[in-house]
Amino acid sequence: MEKVKLSPNVTPSKGSSGLFSGPMGKIGMSSPNTLVSSPIKSPGSHKSLIRYLSMDSTSVHWPRWSSIGKASGQDHARFTIRIEPGILYYSKANTNVTALVAFKEASNHILDMKSQLANDDKSVDTADDELLQQMTMVVFGSNQIERVGCDLDETIKLCRMVICGEGLKDIPPRSAEYQARLEQFISKNSSGQHHIRERREVVNHAMAFVHMVDEIIRDNKAFSEDLIKQTHHILCSDIPITTKDGILTAQGKDYAGKYRRHAVSAGGNNFVVPGRIPGVMARFVSDLNAYLQKAEKEEVIDPFYIAAHACGEFVNIHPFADGNGRICRLILNTILLKYAGIVCPIGEHDTERKDYMDIAVRRGTNEEGNGELAAFTLKKALSTLKRMRRRVMGKDKSKQTS
């Protein structure tokens, strides 16, 4: 395997603002209106999920490396995938080689599949199927971390309905009829209000994922406070906050898409006080966009580190009354989907949930989890990439090369 070398003049920096070092930006603070998310239309309308997101029905550019804000057809960007030293800086010395090897293997898989998908229609169909499965597992795993949502079988059924329109193919997206059909399905054969809530937690989560993916990847927009608020509004609509004893503390309309107005803490970490949230969130999206634009200009990116860092930064702000963990993981996976072409399901298994939560606590209290979360994301993403590459390239695992 080829050795990976880091530039000797690159020095990683500590601190919560170490990666996103960009100018302060002024972001609109208007509250999102009630909206119905547009589902990714079914493969019957668009040849494939990947082609739909690529904005091209005849050829595939995947991952969709595109210039933020540019019109389709003029938006192609070029990147060299290079490891961010922060992954190594926060890792134990004896894990550095492992991180380097994993990163090189992951980058090779991305480039192999990028070439394959651009030249083989059949492989696009295979990649579509794998991507749909993995997006579903993102919703399932993220819900499992928060102990919400449905079991896997029902999550799969609901996500396929939302993501590719199964059972709703003839109904226009964003229409009142579409929303009514979803509501009808949520209530169908339910065993009571608790079951209805579980289904809504899955449907809302999938719709929120679709909304962010549509805005950032298909429509090629920059991250913004409004986008994050809209995504949160979709995620939490009609889902009340209750205590462990079932006592109602807030209706969905009271907090969905709105910054919290009370102080919160968890695991020894005191999150940003309410009065500072608007300014800190403005800085968050400004710095994230500045970093992505800098990567675009320099044609160099580490999608795993930037995705993990954005996730960690956001959850340490904790801008909403509920749903912060799910939103931070949607941000992580939207960035990965755009720049690595895959997603990173987190939380399907108990041991994995514990590892993730332990890292989150360490990152929140002493920053040690910063590169740790990136290394964790890289490891998970590599597993997804191996599986997708094996299917797309049509090779058995035993024959797979790095």
Quick: pLDDT tens for 286-330: 999 999 999 999 999 999 999 999 999 999 999 999 999 999 999
Q: What is the pLDDT of residue 384?
A: 94
Give the per-residue pLDDT at 69.
74
239 is in an annotated binding site: no
- The topology under which CATH files domain 80-393 is Fic-like fold (1.10.3290)
Instruction: Collect the ranges in the chain with pLDDT lower than 70.
Output: 1-47, 55-59, 71-75, 86-97, 166-179, 181-193, 267-268, 364-370, 396-402
Give domain limits for the chain.
80-393
Q: Which of 266, 260, 315, 367 is nearest to 18 (CA)?
A: 367
pTM of the model: 0.82
Asked if 167 and 210 touch (Cβ cutoff 8 Å), the reply is no
Residue 324 annotated in ligand binding: yes
149 labeled binding residue: no
Secondary structure of 163-181 in the HEC alphabet?
Answer: HHCCCCCCCCCCCHHHHHH
Q: How many CA atoms lie within 13 A of 244 on its CB side?
A: 2
Pairing of strands 300-301, 80-81: parallel
pLDDT, tens only, 85-139: 766 655 554 455 678 888 999 999 999 999 998 888 889 889 999 999 999 999 9
Q: State whether residue 269 is helix, strand or coil.
A: strand
Q: Which string of DSSP letters, residue by residue, matches 37-56?
A: PPPPPPTTTSS-HHHHHHT-
Look up 349 and say whether it is catalytic. no
Q: What backbone phi and psi angles, to 5 degrees, belong to 234? A: -65, -45
Separation CA 187–CA 201 (nearest Å): 13
51 labelled binding-site residue: no
Task: Give the pLDDT score at 104.
Answer: 92
For 52, 126, 151, 208, the CA distances from 130, given in Å and listed in that order, are 15, 6, 20, 20
Strands (E), 275-371: 300-301
- pLDDT at position 331 is 98
The catalytic residue among 194, 195, 318, 349 is 318
323 among the known binding-site residues?
yes
